[in-house]
Structure 1
Amino acid sequence: MSALPEVGASAPRSVSELRSRFRQGKAALLDHFRASRASSTAATRLIRALTKHVDLTLGDLWEHAMMPPGAALLAVGGYGRGELFPHSDVDVLVLLPPDQDHANDALRSSIEGFITACWDIGLEIGSSVRTVAECIEESHRDVTVQTALLESRYLCGARRVFNDFRRANTEAMDAKAFLRAKTLEMRQRHQKFEDTPYSLEPNCKESPGGLRDLQVVIWVARAAGLGKTWNELAAKGLITPFEVKQLQRNEGVLKLIRARLHMAAGRREDRLVFDLQTAVAESFGYRPTKGQRASEVLMKRYYWAAKAVAQLNQILMLNIEERVNGLQDAPMRPISDRFLERGGMLEVATDDIYERDPHAILETFY
């Protein structure tokens, strides 16, 4: 695959020049992706390139806005995770030092100028302005804020206040409470999206088996100090190397579909609605045949990935729950020759029980 175009090479002298550089650079990245072969690698490279392009742009805007020296700019949410899709929102946090007065006219003017400039150049920005103490207070009230802050990433400004924030945020994290809240949130989300990965018009981000099911695993694992990548989770014994490969492959498929869906819609759209399925399928190079529409080929690929993600999500969430609640150290109570009970969960006596005796699976339900 050809290299991505270089963008943001020279520093602009004005916001007007920055606007031109940002829009031309983003257009070049999207054009390159549109013309490339539909692959998970191409989608990953685009997501990283868009993130880097926005990072550089925000850094320049921060300087133009003459922000106070003690403040810092943080990427949060999906942007903090380093995952910007073609039409993703860009969520940022302006982190203020503890002695900064929100009502200060000069500060308010600088922040308003920065946010206005972001919108002016074409960034769909979502912003909040808080001190470290306010961040912690708000995260205790709202698990959505807590989740966004968990994935925060330093962009520019004062590193000292960022380091203070990371330390305070880590100390304030209650892994058990966070796990309970995210598990409940996930169940409610699944119900909202029909409780199945096989919806006719699935949301590739929010539906069961969508990207959110992968993100929630990383969130709860990270909050518990169990890792923030699939390989780190494998090193902790939460998943096998084979399952890591499955996760990475299917995550790549979902990211590719979401990126192509944004391109086909020309806006942020995560639903594979009927009106867009054919366009997305054609962007993959799929063509109708006598017995199958192009959209059917696409959806079959989506359903395979979503099914695998839904299954792996269940396995990982249970394994993480065991670690967080200390259930792996709970005593085992024999139920039969083949099965044991531990912490309210059914365990097999040996890992190869179903290979040696396939009929044992029927005993699971008695």
Structure 2
Amino acid sequence: MSAAPDIPELATALAEAADDGAWRDAAKAGLAARRQFLRERFDAGEAIDRLVSRCADAADLVVRAAWQRCLGDEPGLDLMATGGYGRGELYPQSDIDLLVLAEPGLQQRHQVAIGRFFSLLWDAGLATSQAVRSTSQCIDAARDDVTVLTSLMECRALAGDPGAPKALAAALAPTVLWSPSDYFFAKREEQQARHARFNDTAHNLEPSIKEGPGGLRDLQTITWMGMRLYGVPGLRALVPLGLLGEDECASLEREWRVLARLRFGLHLLAGRREERLGFDYQKNLAAMLGLKDERRDNLAVEQMMQGFFRSAATVMRINDRVLQRYEEQLSGQEAPVPLGEGYELRHGYLAMTEPARLGQGLAPVLELFAAWDRQPDARGLHSETARALGESLGAIGPYAGQPASLREQFMALVQSPHAVATLTRMARLGVLARYLPAFGKVSGRMQYDLFHVYTVDQHTLTVLAHLDGFARKADERFGIAHEIWPRLRKPHVLLLAGLFHDIAKGRGGDHSELGATDAREFAAAHAMPQSDADLLAWLVEQHLLMSTTAQRQDISDPVVVARFANKVADREHLDYLYLLTCADIAGTSPKLWNAWKDRLLADLHAATRFALRRGLENPVHATEIMAETRAAALSRLLGEGLSREEVERIWEAYPDVGFLRYRPEQIAWQTHGIAASGGADTLVMVRPHLEDGGLEVFVRTPDRDGLFAALVATFDRLGLNVLEARVLNSIDGFALDNFQLFAPHGRAPEPAAVESALKLALRDPARVKPPRRAAPRQLRHFRVPVKVGFDASADGRRTRMSLVCTDQPGLLASVAQVLRKFRLRVHDARIATFGEKVEDFFLLTDEANAPIDDPALLDQLREAIVAGVDGEMHHGKKEAQH
């Protein structure tokens, strides 16, 4: 390890530099050596408060040397450090905030020298955020912008009058501008707006250590408020005033060290000012911190992120309490509103009159949440009570060791109309993790992928919120969920299934099976009836069944529906599973749920309900479904003015399977378009579908080589994702292709533009090539091994190909090109993307519409698909580098 750069020697080198160029070189070399030294001290585990102080010391030396070189000891000019740098806290790549305090005449007289001073700092590699103002100009700027005032509240002298910071503070006193009340409400509004930019949660895949909820800025906000409201120098000075408990102060200091160390390491790793803990840095930063992978589902990066999220949650909880105390102090005395039974409302917050009782264990804690349940309009928990609750967490034991009476009380809360709000509060305040230790293990736990955008506990709470929305009919995006909810025999069983469905993640093994075991143990301990316990465990174990069936299989196939119906067995299990599936998908990512998934699951629910009503011993046959679809489509077309003869003439060329795979409404739309086309060889129809950004496309054109590949390549060029492709052939030699498309960002091209692009491509499909684009930044950090599998379709007439790989631009078009080279026909395609992972399924035949049963050919096809996907991935990386 190298020795620390000698600060006096660096000072001497700067003072003796012959010219500005030599000074710049000496400063750059000294700062670079200092950063290398700090990296070594970081790796050695030196305390973070010492590291940020060392970093500020090095900057001080260079700044003072530059000032002396350019301005000397010119009277009337004062140089101050402000903001974070002003409090002596600096990170390797942070800007240094500087204020030159001088009257306007002196500013003008020394303008050139001051400009030279700042230029020297920039040339030395110090990024500065600077201001040149007089005291009156500081007052004006601070009056207009509370962030300017905040920055000036933390300043220290670097050159000039040592008393200047104190004099400036007096000029900016609350009696002059920004009274304590005005400052508090302005900074609280600023924090609320900042949180809203991050969706009011710290649990994002790439969180901001500095600005995100629970980040360093939240900790600084309550510090600044304390300084302004009470004239204290920092957090610890709030303890004697009773505004911050000793335990709370110690917790904030501990979490500051966690967050600050992450930020310091991130700056070292990025080599630039970076505050977002992005995928580009997460793995390497975890390694810098000395963390090791324990197993596949407990990676070092996941351990690091779990530590971050837990620290952020602690900061948010204490931040909320302190803000509430500030508000109460500013609002003055207000008579509490008695609620009876030892509770009252203070300033609208629920308070226990004897909060010390919470230290007695679980009983008073459950009593508190029951009282809160009875006061749904309370603004929250009073800070004094919240603090007492936080201090009492250690006295709360797991449910397994609690008496039956308390477990009954917990179940009463779960069965309350406000159960989701209560469970969410318990989770946020740390109670649920104590009562249910398995939940504590997934608190703050992230999964290192792009599919799960929340930590496991945040995802669970989001799922519960969606379930609560079904009960209250709060979200129109779910077509039939609100109709199904009232039929539930015991809704609390579904809420418990939502609570347990992912509770075993990170333990190793199948989390569905492990979670089902946890659920059974919980049910037994809480004396749930056996039928309820069985339903709960089944839901947890099978919570992925419906989504995988709908997204990976052809649910228009009666065999697929019958197989699913046999697993579900009855209408009750179907209803519960449907609601859990909807909430689980929607709770994984705000962007994951869409109208196509809503219809897909609703269709599977309807088909399964019919199969169950008919009886599992009497499966529905394809001929019945086709007859019903045909009759319904004909009725619609007759109502639209077409004659029976005309419809039957068009349908003579329709393959029977079309009446199985398409809805009556789709058949009618296609038939009407064919009738209106007047027998044209090529027909392209495009219409908005289901929601903003959704399109449905129907193409009827003479079947020929490369048709499917040309179509999907064109969609890719238009920025449209294929969700589903139905590829049929008419009896008279036409392709009848139907596509469900979706624009990822909700801005689909106009239908006329899509129609024109497709018609152009259909003039010569063989010449249409897939576009080549760089993969998005986030995708480059994840690699899913390419897996290609083959098996027979349910009816044995097709070969099903599955493809699992990393998502990338142009993937489907690239695969289509390979299939074209092998002269294979695509009859159906289901495209499912789970974050960075793609799971696509294709139904294939050879040119004669026969299944592919040659093992050698399948091996060649597999090799070609793998090579093509890997080639696209490699090209995407090169494009990104360029």
Pick the aligned partner of 1:130 from 123, 133, 138: 133
Structure 1 pair 336/18, CA: closer, same or farther in 2 (3 Å)?
Answer: farther
Separation in structure 2 between the aligned mates of residue 314 and residue 210 of structure 1, nearest angstrom: 13
With over 3 angstroms needed to count, the CA separation of the structure-2 counterparts of 1:350 and 1:139, relative to structure 1, is same
Shift of 1:128: 0.7
Q: 1:358 maps to what in 2? A: 365
Taking the aligned partners of 2:4 and 2:275, their CA distance within structure 1 comes to 25
- Which sections of structure 1, spanning at least 5 residues, go unmatched? none
CA shift, 1:296, in A, is: 0.8
Give me the whole-angstrom Cα distance separating, in 2, the residues matched to 1:241 and 1:336.
31
Whole-Å separation in 2 of the counterparts to 1:3 and 1:184: 47
Q: Which residue of 1 aligns with 2:16?
A: 13
TM-score (norm 1): 0.92
Shift of the 340–31 alpha-carbon distance from structure 1 to 2, 3 Å rule, reads same
Distance 1:40 1:75, change over 3 A: farther
| CA–CA distance in structure 2, aligned partners of residues 338 and 180 of structure 1 | 31
Between 199-208 and 339-348, the greater mean CA deviation after superposition: 339-348
Map 1:94-109 → 2, pairs under 5 A? 94-97=100-103, 100=105, 102=107, 104=108, 106-109=109-112
Aligned to 1:251: 256
Instruction: Name the CA distance, whole Å, in 2 between partners of 1:338 and 1:39.
Output: 53
Query: Does residue 155 in structure 1 map to residue 158 in structure 2?
Result: yes
CA displacement 1:221-258 (0-9 Å, x = unmatched): 10012523232111111122111211111110000000
In the other structure, the counterpart of 1:85 is 91
CA distance in 2: counterparts of 1:160 and 1:313, whole angstroms: 33
Partner of 1:224, secondary structure, is helix
d(CA) in 1 for partners of 2:43, 2:209:
17
The one-letter code matched in structure 1 to 2:7 is V
1:297-353: CA deviation from partner (whole Å, max 9, x where unpaired) = 111111111111111111111112222333xx3332312122122233332111224
Instruction: Say whether 1:317 aligns with 2:320.
Output: no
The match for 1:264 is 269
**Separation in 2 of the partners of 1:107 and 1:180?**
39
Q: 1:274: which partner in 2?
A: 279
* Equivalent position of 1:330 in the other structure: 334
* Secondary structure of 1:197 counterpart: coil
Query: Structure 2 vs 1, CA of residues 2 and 252 (structure 1 numbering), >3 Å: closer, same or farther?
Result: farther
Are the structure 2 counterparts of residues 70 and 44 from structure 1 closer, same or farther at C-alpha, using a change threshold of 3 Å?
Answer: same
Partner Cα separation in structure 1 for residue 164 and residue 42 of structure 2: 43
Offset at residue 187 of structure 1 (A): 0.3
1:347 counterpart residue number: 351
Cα gap change, 1:343 to 1:135, in 2 (>3 Å): same
Given that residues 206 and 279 in structure 2 are in contact (C-alpha distance below 8 angstroms), is that contact kept between their aligned partners in structure 1? yes
RMSD (Å) for aligned C-alpha atoms: 2.2
> What is residue 239 of structure 1 aligned with on the other side?
244
Distance 1:358-1:339 versus aligned 2 partners, 3 A rule:
same
Please give the secondary structure, in 2, of the residue aligned with 1:236.
coil
Question: Which amino acid in structure 2 is aligned with residue 150 of structure 1?
Answer: M
Question: For residue 142 of structure 1, what is the aligned residue in structure 2?
Answer: 145
Which structure has the higher relative contact order (CA within 8 Å, separation 6+)?
1
SS in 1 for 2:260: helix
- CA shift for structure 1 position 267: 0.7
- Over residues 152-171 of structure 1, what are the superposed CA-to-partner deviations in whole Å (9 max), with x where a residue is unaligned? 22111134544432211124
Look at both structures and tell me which one has the larger radius of gyration over its CA atoms: 2
Residues 169-197 of structure 1: per-residue CA shift (max 9 Å, x gap): 12424111010000000000001012112
Tell me the secondary structure at the aligned position of residue 79 of structure 2.
strand
Distance 2:166 2:239 in 1: 28
What is the TM-score when the length of structure 2 is the normalising length?
A: 0.39
What one-letter code is carried by the residue in structure 1 that aligns with 2:52? I
Among candidates 292, 296, 303, match of residue 297 of structure 1 = 303
- Assess, with a 3 A threshold, how the Cα gap between structure 1 residues 2 and 363 changes in structure 2: closer, same or farther: farther
Q: Percent identity?
A: 31
2:38 corresponds, among 33, 37, 50, to 33
- Contact 2:157-2:164 within 8 A present in 1 as well: no
Q: Is the 8 A contact 1:74 1:93 kept in 2?
A: yes
Q: Counterpart in 1 of 2:120?
A: 117
Give the partner amino acid of 2:240: A
Contact 2:214-2:312 within 8 A present in 1 as well? yes
Distance verdict in 2 for CA 1:35–1:60, change over 3 Å? closer
Quick one: which amino acid aligns to residue 130 of structure 1? R
Q: 2:191 aligns with which of 186, 193, 196?
A: 186
Give the counterpart letter for 1:180 in structure 2. F
Gaps of at least 5 residues in structure 2 are 375-882
State the alpha-carbon separation in 2 of the partners of residues 219 and 162 from structure 1. Answer: 16
Name which of structure 1's ranges 336-345 and 32-41 shifts more when overlaid on structure 2. Answer: 32-41
State the alpha-carbon separation in 2 of the partners of residues 215 and 333 from structure 1: 33
Q: Is the 8 A contact 1:73 1:92 kept in 2?
A: yes
Q: Secondary structure at the match of 1:364?
A: helix
- Compute the displacement of 1:290 (Å): 2.7
Shift in alpha-carbon separation, 1:348–1:76, aligned structure 2, 3 A: same
Task: Say if 2:226 and 2:234, in contact at 8 Å, map to a contact too.
Answer: no
Q: What one-letter code is carried by the residue in structure 2 that aligns with 1:127?
A: Q
Give the 5 Å matches for 1:170-181.
170=173, 171-172=175-176, 173-181=178-186
